[in-house]
């Protein structure tokens, strides 16, 4: 009876210790039969296992809850490997993901506790190593001693990486979404370790949660990327619509300006305001038509850019400027240049090109108006020169309606150019004249000036440079009234013919600029002017000093240039003649003895003699 009571007390004591959570060592010290004590210790181990399992599950669910709150994929992956290492108390944990190429390979994505760069860059082919086998079979694998485990397909790169990291025991479980494996989760030790079935189950359960978290993070990233792309697309569409609306508004504004009669500078100012840069508009010859800010582009660079723009059919960047050829079909009307905007968006470039189209419309309208006005002015020129005496009052009235007072003095210029159409030459000439037109197959200009010779020279130089061809200009006048203007025109025709005959293509002159040739050609001979222009310095010298240079010059020519005969005629020493001739050379120029110049001097001397000896003769010559 006593033994039974003692056994009961021992069993009761063991139950009390179990209820208090005593350890196995404490249970072993209780005096009881071996069967009862062993039963108590088995119960203790079972309770410890349940507690441990409960703690693991608690940690697992806490980890899964944490993963569910993460949205960034990299953050999710880092959290997975860190929690896996904590759950299993491993030295190293890591995660590989399947390659999207479809070849079955996996690559190292994230590690925790790793020190080897070689290991962190590892890639496993399908079925290679422990991880490759897990990814291929979708089953967990564990090894106590990987380097010596023959179950796995050992490769050089894998073994070198594992050895460099110093790993011995490895547990790998699949990251699965349904039937699809997306990667492998690992826990490993740098010493031999046998992973229990509970640890394998724990890591597998965690891997299932981790796979879902990875998939969710990927979906969130994809959704975020899709939303970002959609937002960017919406911004692009909005910007496109805004640019279209802006371009349409600008086009309507520019078109309204053109149709409202705006000139080129106004259009240039409007385009400059829209694009925020400087605008220069030039015609087909490169002459500036209008500008708003900016700078005139270099001629060579502009020509190169216009050619490129014509070939490409769009605006072209040339250095820090943009150039757009202004076209009407295949015909070049001019160019529009944008400065101050070295970089242009597609929308602004298209807007600039639209400005080129509007500029083309403006230039076409200007050309049509100019051609109509040129035609009216050309008809007046033709009627004025054809029959000036028929109805001079009507001619004067037509001139007044065109803003030209034909009773005021005008120089008449006749233009000649090879290889240039008369229409184009007349169009260019009209910009420089009160009236311009084609008469008797020649281009004629009327310009208000009292210096026809100077105007002829300047006009020939400018038009030659502008058109790239020699333009020869003969001038006469000034003249006033239809009859006198017609007479001046005839004289300018003779003058331009003389220039061509003398080989002076591309030059301009009035009769008085041609010396004795002009005297012969002119129907209003001005002998006194010719004599003065030819002998003036000598006449002035004699008058001021009482010398006889003029008489010496006459004697020299009369003696055929022989100094001895000249000194006999003058009754002076030959050295005196030589000194006088030297003085004459300083007054008239070193070329005074050249044939052409000598001929002019001799003619002037003869006319001077006639004027001094018989005024009636000189008067008769002037009146012829």
pTM for this model (two decimals): 0.39
Q: Is 127 exposed, middle or buried (0-12, 13-18, 19+ CB in 10 A)?
A: middle
How high is the pLDDT of residue 623? Answer: 36
601: confidence class by pLDDT, cuts 50, 70, 90: confident
More confident residue, 191 or 70: 191
| Residue pair 448/406 in contact by the 8 Å Cβ criterion | no
**Residue 106 pLDDT more than 70?**
yes
Please state, for a pLDDT cut of 70, what percent of the chain lies above it.
75
Separation between Cα atoms, residue 528 and residue 535, nearest integer Å: 10
- Looking at mean pLDDT, say which of 164-178, 220-234, 239-253, 512-526 comes out highest: 164-178
The answer on pLDDT for 20 being more than 60 is yes
What does the pLDDT read at residue 619? 39
- Mean pLDDT throughout 325-339? 80
Strongest mean pLDDT among 300-314, 443-457, 505-519, 530-544: 443-457
Q: Which residues pair with 335 in a beta bridge?
A: 282, 325
Residue 285 near residue 349, CB atoms below 8 Å: no
Q: What is the mean pLDDT of residues 613-618?
A: 36
Helix (H) or strand (E) holding 321: strand 321-328
Whether residue 622 has pLDDT greater than 50: no
| Cα–Cα distance measured from residue 167 to residue 116, given in angstroms and rounded to the nearest whole number | 11
pLDDT band at 146 (very low <50, low <70, confident <90, very high): very high
Asked if residue 585 has pLDDT above 50, the reply is yes
**Is the four-CA dihedral 41, 43, 45, 51 of positive or negative sign?**
negative
Q: Does residue 286 surpass a pLDDT of 50?
A: yes
499-544 tens-digit pLDDT:
776 677 888 888 777 655 554 444 455 566 667 767 778 888 888 8
Write the pLDDT tens digit of every residue in 532-561: 767 778 888 888 888 888 888 888 888 877
pLDDT at position 577 over 50: yes
Biggest CA-to-CA distance, the chain: 193
State yes or no: pLDDT of 161 exceeds 90. yes
Count Cβ neighbours within 10 Å for each residue of 423-441 and write b for 16 or more, e otherwise: eebbbbbbeebbbbbbbee
Which pLDDT does position 169 carry in this prediction?
Answer: 95
Is residue 315 a contact partner of residue 351, using CB atoms and an 8 Å limit? Answer: no
| Section 430-438 average pLDDT | 78
The per-residue pLDDT of the chain, averaged, comes to: 77
Mean pLDDT of 429-457: 82
Higher pLDDT, 279 or 297: 279
Question: What is the pLDDT confidence band of residue 593, given thresholds at 50, 70 and 90?
Answer: confident
Residue 49 has pLDDT above 60, yes or no: no
Among the residue ranges 211-215, 375-379, 593-597, 598-602, the one predicted with the least confidence is: 375-379
Highest mean pLDDT among 193-202, 339-348, 567-576: 193-202
pLDDT tens sequence across 114-126: 999 999 999 888 8
pLDDT band at residue 91 using 50, 70 and 90 as cut-offs: very high
Q: How far apart are CA 134 and CA 121, in angstroms?
A: 19
Least confident of 150-164, 305-319, 352-366: 352-366
What local confidence, expressed as pLDDT, does residue 103 receive?
73
Kindly state the percentage of the chain with pLDDT values over 90. 11
Query: How far is residue 78's CA from residue 594's CA, in Å, rounded to a whole number?
Result: 105
What does the alpha-carbon distance between residue 130 and residue 397 come to, in Å, rounded to a whole number? 110
pLDDT band at 412 (very low <50, low <70, confident <90, very high): confident
The model's confidence at residue 16, banded by pLDDT at 50, 70 and 90, is low
- Give me the sign of the Cα torsion angle 61, 64, 70, 71: negative
Top mean pLDDT of 6-15, 35-44, 296-305, 601-610 is at 296-305
Per-residue pLDDT reduced to its tens digit, 386-411: 767 777 777 777 777 777 787 889 88
Of 40-44, 274-278, 284-288, 316-320, least confident by mean pLDDT is: 40-44
Q: What is the DSSP letter of 195?
A: P
Between residues 281 and 20, the one the model is more confident about:
281
């Amino acid at each position: 009876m006593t033994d039974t009571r003692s056994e009961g007390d021992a069993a009761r004591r063991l139950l009390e210790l179990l209820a208090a959570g005593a350890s196995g060592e404490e249970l072993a010290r209780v005096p009881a039969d071996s069967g009862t004590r062993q039963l108590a210790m088995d119960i203790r181990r079972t309770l410890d296992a349940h507690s441990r399992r409960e703690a693991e599950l608690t940690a697992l669910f806490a980890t899964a809850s944490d993963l569910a709150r993460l949205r960034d994929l990299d953050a999710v992956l880092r959290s997975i490997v860190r929690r896996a290492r904590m759950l299993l108390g491993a030295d190293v944990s890591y995660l590989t993901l399947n390659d999207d190429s479809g070849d079955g390979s996996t690559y190292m994505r994230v590690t925790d506790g790793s020190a080897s760069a070689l290991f962190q860059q590892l890639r496993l082919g399908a079925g290679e190593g422990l991880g490759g086998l897990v990814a291929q079979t979708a089953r967990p694998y564990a090894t106590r001693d990987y380097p010596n485990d023959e179950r796995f397909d050992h490769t050089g790169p894998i073994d070198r990486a594992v050895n460099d990291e110093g790993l011995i025991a490895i547990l790998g479980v699949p990251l699965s979404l349904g039937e699809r494996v997306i990667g492998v989760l690992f826990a490993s030790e740098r010493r031999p370790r046998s992973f229990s079935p509970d640890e394998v189950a724990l890591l597998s359960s965690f891997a299932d949660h981790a796979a879902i978290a990875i998939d969710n993070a990927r979906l969130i990233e994809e959704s975020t990327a899709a939303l970002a792309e959609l937002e960017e697309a919406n911004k692009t569409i909005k910007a496109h619509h805004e640019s279209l609306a802006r371009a349409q508004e600008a086009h309507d504004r520019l078109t309204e300006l053109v149709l409202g009669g705006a000139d080129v500078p106004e259009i240039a100012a409007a385009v400059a305001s829209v694009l925020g840069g400087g605008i220069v508009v030039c015609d087909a010859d490169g002459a500036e038509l209008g500008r708003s800010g900016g700078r005139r582009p270099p001629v060579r660079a502009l020509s190169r850019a216009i050619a490129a723009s014509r070939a490409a059919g769009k605006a072209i960047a040339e250095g820090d400027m943009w150039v757009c050829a202004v076209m009407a079909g295949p015909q070049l009307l001019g160019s529009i240049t944008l400065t101050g905007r070295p970089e242009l968006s597609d929308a602004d470039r298209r807007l600039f090109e639209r400005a080129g189209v509007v500029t083309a419309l403006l230039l076409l309208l200007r050309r049509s108006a100019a051609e109509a006005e040129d035609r009216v002015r050309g008809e007046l020129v033709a009627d004025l020169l054809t029959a000036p005496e028929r109805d001079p009052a009507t001619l004067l009235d037509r001139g007044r309606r065109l803003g030209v007072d034909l009773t005021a003095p005008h120089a008449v210029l006749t233009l000649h150019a090879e290889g240039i159409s008369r229409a184009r030459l007349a169009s260019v000439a009209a910009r420089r004249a009160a009236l311009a037109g084609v008469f008797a197959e020649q281009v004629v200009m009327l310009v208000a000036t009292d210096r026809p010779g100077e105007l002829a020279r300047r006009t020939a130089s400018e038009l030659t440079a502008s058109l790239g061809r020699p333009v020869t200009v003969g001038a006469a006048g000034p003249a006033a009234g239809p009859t006198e203007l017609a007479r001046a025109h005839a004289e300018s025709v003779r003058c331009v013919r003389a220039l061509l005959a003398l080989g002076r293509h591309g030059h301009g002159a009035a009769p008085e600029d041609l010396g004795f040739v002009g005297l012969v050609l002119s129907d209003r001979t001005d002998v006194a002017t010719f004599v003065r222009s030819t002998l003036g310095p000598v006449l002035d010298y004699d008058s001021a000093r009482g010398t006889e240079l003029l008489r010496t010059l006459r004697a020299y020519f009369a003696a055929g240039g022989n100094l001895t005969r000249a000194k006999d005629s003058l009754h002076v020493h030959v050295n005196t003649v030589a000194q006088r001739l030297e003085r004459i050379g300083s007054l008239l120029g070193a070329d005074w003895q050249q044939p052409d110049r000598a001929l002019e001097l001799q003619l002037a001397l003869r006319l001077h003699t006639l004027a001094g000896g018989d005024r009636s003769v000189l008067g008769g010559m002037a009146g012829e």
